[in-house]
Structure 1
Amino acid sequence: MIVSDPATPHRREGFESAPDPRLYNDDLAPTEPIRRTWTTYNYLALWFSMSMEVTTYMLASSLIAGGMNWKQAVLTILLGNVIVLIPMLLNAHAGAKYGIPFPVFVRASFGPMGANIPAILRAIVACGWFGIQSWIGGQAIAQMVAVLAPSTTGSPVVTWVCFLGFWALNMFVIWRGVESIRFLQSFSAPFMLIMSGLLLFFMLHKAGGFGPMLSAPSHFATHSAFWHFFFPSLTAMVGYWATLSLNIPDFTRYAKNQESQLVGQAFGLPVAMVLYSFIGIACTSASTIVFGRPIWSPVELLGEFHQPFLAFLGLVALLIATLNVNIGANVVGPSNDISNLAPSVISFRTGGLITGFLGLAMMPWKLMASFGSYVFGWLVGYSGLLGPVAGIMVADYFLVRGTQLDTYSLYRRGGMYEYSKGINPAAMISLVVGVAAALVGRVMPLVSFLYDYAWFVGFFLSGALYFVMMLGHRVRRSAVVS
């Protein structure tokens, strides 16, 4: 097998051939070496800035609301993020090595036409997250307005105006392009760390120290009750970053080298998530003491403060964090995915605008109606869609191809990734079987345990089935290479 220069998909074996316009545009092209400038710090900043935001806080606080004590909650979050780090780093390898984004990378396993299916699955989930983050940002602005004008508290008109205004701000940042994202990450990461520490210190002071804050015991009467809550919660922890575990090549394509992204992510993801999750856990526990009830939303918690300046400053910090993670985590990926549908007519910017409108259509106010719908409905549910895709991608890149890709063929029809009319039947069958097995427990109580482990069921079942079905292809490829 001939592996072309990752940065020059136009050239191969001494002659030039233009890429297929249906599979290529400037945003999908391999990143040129001169643009691969992201260092270890950029990836540390990426994860600290994306972790330190409202949905992470609410993810952690939901475990307390569900009955866990603080130690159980922290260990659940740490374990979930260590697990999801594995497919994250495996899929990140191709982005750093070849400079290709996720929609191009997935063509190797699904085919140039079949790749649209996992790309759109991932894009739909990201659109839902975009809507959720925009809704939370709008609520934060509404709380800021209420601090300045208490008569507006609870006004639906103010809430919706703030929501749409924050959504429009996101659209503006999208139009500015990917470099504005790196600027936001570098600026907001240290700022959010400082502001989160101040919030923790304030709640610590109000609650009378760490002792009262973290003294709440586990509320599970039996070990069986704990495990029944723990396993779907662990799946939700993995599902939280299931989208990024697929489209992480969209970021690692800018890495200076493999070491930069590997070290930055291996340290940044688990440390940032545990650190900020602990803040959410501690503050939620303290809210029970200070306000008489557990408040799992930091937006609502800040709204309870009687110091207008402190509340306003905290809400500004939430806005910066929410804007940063919404662009970094929920726009880059789906914009590339949507662009992949018709690269000649849909640019990154256009894909980002489409992402914004789809986020509105998914009604985020319903997805965030309660911590139960957020964790066990939204997070666990979509993990069953994305786990199978991750399993297929990892099996194909490492087990079937041995990390060797032909970037020339990734941008053209009729090559080694053509399969059957541009679709790999093995990948499609594995995807359908994995998704069906992961989600069937949602509607069939007898096998509800499959839904509790949705991401794991989909990842391992689809990956194993794909590898078995591709054994013949692997043998034929080896014969060609030899």
Structure 2
Amino acid sequence: MQLENPSPALYNEDLAPAQDRKWGAFSIFNVWTSDVHSLWGYYLAASLFLLCGSFVNFVLAIGIGSLVIFVLMTMVGNAGVRTGVPFPVLARASFGTFGANVPALVRAVVACFWYGAQTAAAAGALVALLIRSPALLEFHQTSFLLGHSTLTFICFLIVWGAQLLIIQNGMETVRKFQDWAGPAVWIVMLVLAVYLVAKSGTFSFGSEIPQDVLIAATRDAGVTSAPGSFAALAAVAATWITYFAALYLNFCDFSRYATDERALLKGNLWGLPVNLLAFCLVAGVTTTAAYAVYGEVLLHPEQISAKFDSLFLAILAALTFAVATLGINVVANFVSAAFDFSNTFPSRISFKGGGYIAALISLALFPWAPWETGAAQFVNFIGSTMGPIFGIIMVDYYLIRRSRLDVAALYQENGEFRFQNGWHSKAFIAFGIGMVFSSILPTFTTLLPAWWGTYGWFFGVAVGGGVYYALRRGDAV
């Protein structure tokens, strides 16, 4: 789509509707392999697997959760295919041409935090490998820089720089990286699973792990009910769905490059319900086999690889985990922040420039490592605000506009989406009310039951989207 005289305050080549659409089903599938197959993803998948209590419960909880993820991602993905625009531009239709910067910056804040956290996780996998050497272990324990071991800082810089090399040539380089990394990670994960299952001599689903040990090991997953109970299964499904809250917003950053909706549907089908179930199964079986071999619940894969007798397997595992985590960082954090920051000043900040801003912020955060402190609660609070944003954008696109959107007007300051001087008050009223129920009340008060926080994102979607629909129902579109 060719735009005529777009406003410089709303346009640059990176934010323009996608013209070169080469992403087939395989590339869309690998968006999900890159997004899920990380150290954080493995930890969550293994934890939720063990909390299911049986294979049938696992299929029900993770299966239903994965189907919901598939439906939601296809909804936002189709919007990207049809319009060809990235998330911050799509948000202009509901929040206003300039008001869209607010949801974009919310997403960017979350992306910067997790960009640093994922980079640190990948660096940790390399450190776990390197300290098998007595000399490097001593160096790790005695030399410190910026509040961390010097070895950790060096590994952080290596991973940090590798991500910049991948992204510097734009989204086509991201696609090529994904198409290679996704299958490679799957192959290595299967090798590790087979190795541990063969060594343990058992293929089980965690039933042999004492419940008190299991609950203690999985406490950080946020599921407080007894493993296998209905409440636990509901929380497992909800947690799994909420894990993807950030990508519900910006999946159109990728789907806009898809060849058509059929390719998107096929890629999502294999990449989400099929891939997610298989990934959780492999992560869970590997963890239970590791318990049989080492006598510990090792939910972090680098903990498992550090115990391998085989140096070759240890190297293979560490590099794979680093590549996998690097992949999710590029997909879930770098790309989103790049478009989000670019949207604030399109004439001055390009896609690359926005990505570099995110990378520099994550590097600046490293000395304090807020992802290792209580600051995570702050980011979870900010992240929960993404529920109302998603609800508002989807209600606007599907219920208010019936999937009909004047894309050219998204780039005009005085067009349809100007609303009140570029800000849409009704969207922000709905956003504020949605935040009260998704973030503010469950985080800062005890007015709501303890379980509410597990479903905060859902309440945000329902309340934010519902209020927006009520406010806009009588408007002519």
Shared fold (TM-score, shorter chain, > 0.5): yes
Which of 342, 345, 352 is residue 348 of structure 2 equivalent to?
345
Which of 287, 292, 295 is residue 290 of structure 2 equivalent to?
287
Task: Tell me if structure 2 keeps the 8 A contact 1:60–1:77.
Answer: no
Which of 11, 21, 29 is residue 8 of structure 2 equivalent to?
21
Which of 274, 278, 281 is residue 281 of structure 2 equivalent to?
278
Q: 1:74 to 1:302 in 2, by over 3 A?
A: farther
Range with bigger deviation, 328-337 or 446-455 = 446-455
- For residue 336 of structure 1, give the secondary structure of its aligned residue in structure 2: helix
Q: 1:198 to 1:106 in 2, by over 3 A?
A: same
Residues 198-227 of structure 1: per-residue CA shift (max 9 Å, x gap): 000111012112148664476689869945
Aligned to 1:443: 444
Letter in 2 for 1:263: K
Task: Tell me if structure 2 keeps the 8 A contact 1:87–1:394.
Answer: no
Aligned to 1:367: 371
CA distance in 1, matches of 2:211, 2:395: 39
CA distance in 2, matches of 1:268, 1:228: 27
Aligned to 2:67: 82
Range with bigger deviation, 201-210 or 56-65 = 56-65
Using the size of structure 1 for normalisation, the TM-score is 0.88
CA distance in 2, matches of 1:106, 1:182: 24
Aligned to 1:152: 137
CA distance in 2, matches of 1:469, 1:207: 59
Which of 331, 336, 354 is residue 328 of structure 1 equivalent to?
331
1:408, distance to aligned residue in structure 2 (A): 1.7
Show the 5 A alignment for 1:180-259: 180-211=173-204, 215-216=208-209, 226-227=229-230, 229-259=232-262
Task: Tell me if structure 2 keeps the 8 A contact 1:238–1:455.
Answer: no
- For residue 32 of structure 2, give the secondary structure of its aligned residue in structure 1: helix
Letter in 2 for 1:137: A
Show the 5 A alignment for 1:363-402: 365-367=369-371, 381-402=381-402
1:251, distance to aligned residue in structure 2 (A): 0.7
Letter in 2 for 1:236: T
- 2:191 is aligned with 1:173: no
Aligned to 1:456: 458
Range with bigger deviation, 136-145 or 444-453 = 444-453
1:235, distance to aligned residue in structure 2 (A): 3.1
Aligned to 1:9: 3
Task: Tell me if structure 2 keeps the 8 A contact 1:127–1:334.
Answer: yes
Using the size of structure 2 for normalisation, the TM-score is 0.89
Range with bigger deviation, 347-356 or 322-331 = 322-331
Task: Tell me if structure 1 keeps the 8 A contact 2:204–2:288.
Answer: no
CA distance in 1, matches of 2:52, 2:18: 47
1:178, distance to aligned residue in structure 2 (A): 1.5
CA distance in 2, matches of 1:62, 1:94: 33
Letter in 2 for 1:31: A
- For residue 6 of structure 2, give the secondary structure of its aligned residue in structure 1: coil
Q: 1:151 to 1:414 in 2, by over 3 A?
A: closer
Range with bigger deviation, 64-73 or 86-95 = 64-73
CA distance in 2, matches of 1:192, 1:223: 32
| Structure 2 gaps, min length 5 | 142-148, 216-223
1:65, distance to aligned residue in structure 2 (A): 6.7
Which of 142, 149, 155 is residue 162 of structure 1 equivalent to?
155
1:19, distance to aligned residue in structure 2 (A): 0.8
- For residue 11 of structure 2, give the secondary structure of its aligned residue in structure 1: coil
| Structure 1 gaps, min length 5 | 1-6, 11-17, 478-482
Q: 1:245 to 1:67 in 2, by over 3 A?
A: closer
CA distance in 2, matches of 1:233, 1:254: 32
Task: Tell me if structure 2 keeps the 8 A contact 1:68–1:218.
Answer: no
Letter in 1 for 2:296: R
Aligned to 1:472: 474
Q: 1:342 to 1:404 in 2, by over 3 A?
A: same
1:50, distance to aligned residue in structure 2 (A): 2.4
CA distance in 2, matches of 1:183, 1:26: 21
Identity %: 30
- 2:18 is aligned with 1:31: yes
- For residue 349 of structure 2, give the secondary structure of its aligned residue in structure 1: coil
Task: Tell me if structure 1 keeps the 8 A contact 2:341–2:349.
Answer: yes
CA distance in 1, matches of 2:66, 2:373: 25
Task: Tell me if structure 1 keeps the 8 A contact 2:63–2:273.
Answer: yes
Which of 86, 108, 114 is residue 129 of structure 1 equivalent to?
114
CA distance in 1, matches of 2:96, 2:234: 34
1:449, distance to aligned residue in structure 2 (A): 3.4
Residues 22-64 of structure 1: per-residue CA shift (max 9 Å, x gap): 10000001111xx111111111122123222222111122336
Range with bigger deviation, 142-151 or 212-221 = 212-221
1:138, distance to aligned residue in structure 2 (A): 0.5
1:287, distance to aligned residue in structure 2 (A): 2.2
Residues 401-460 of structure 1: per-residue CA shift (max 9 Å, x gap): 011111121001111111111111111011111111112112222303332211110001
1:21, distance to aligned residue in structure 2 (A): 0.4
CA distance in 2, matches of 1:296, 1:150: 28
CA distance in 2, matches of 1:143, 1:424: 50
- For residue 237 of structure 2, give the secondary structure of its aligned residue in structure 1: helix
CA distance in 2, matches of 1:69, 1:368: 32
Which of 274, 292, 302 is residue 299 of structure 1 equivalent to?
302
